[in-house]
Amino acid sequence: MECEFPTVNANNEEIRAILAEVKTIAVLGLSPDATKDSYRVAQYLQSAGYTIIPVYPKEETILGEKVFRSLEEIPFGVDMVNIFRKPDALNAIVDACLTRGDVKVFWAQIGIVNNEAASRAENAGMKVVQNHCSMVEHRRIHG
């Protein structure tokens, strides 16, 4: 897939509201490697008071939290998915969000854009953020 410019995206006020409203964040692609962006972002969000749910194909715990192999395996509510995966994985992630029925926010990290998936998520009622880092946005808003 070629790089895309995000045509579906939340504005600053919507991002501020998202970060105020969500409590549980499933981090898809959360690496156990402390040098990786996914780990650093999740650690920051956890320290900011969010409940982090690691979704990763290996490991039993990351950041002290039980690791799930897929979004579908999580047995409790998820407010937001924070995605550290390649853009071509986003359509399947939208499908998983739709199957769950409880995901309110579809957040693709900086450098990740898939407008087709984002449109599907938005049409299903989810708030969509693409090509933004949740840690950077939280710091920008909360200082």
Q: Tell me the per-residue pLDDT of 24-57, one tens digit each, with 9 for 90 and over.
A: 999 999 999 999 999 999 999 999 999 999 999 9
CATH superfamily of 12-142: NAD(P)-binding Rossmann-like Domain (3.40.50.720)
- The low-confidence residues of the chain, meaning pLDDT below 70, are 1-3
pLDDT at position 4 is 80
Q: Which of 32, 36, 63, 85 has the alpha carbon at shortest distance from 71?
A: 85
* Domain positions in the chain: 12-142
pLDDT at position 1 is 43
Q: How far apart are CA 16 and CA 10, in angstroms?
A: 10
CB 103 within 8 Å of CB 79: yes
pLDDT at position 2 is 54
The arrangement of strands across the sheet holding 127-129 comes to 51-55, 24-28, 80-83, 105-108, 127-129
pLDDT at position 140 is 95
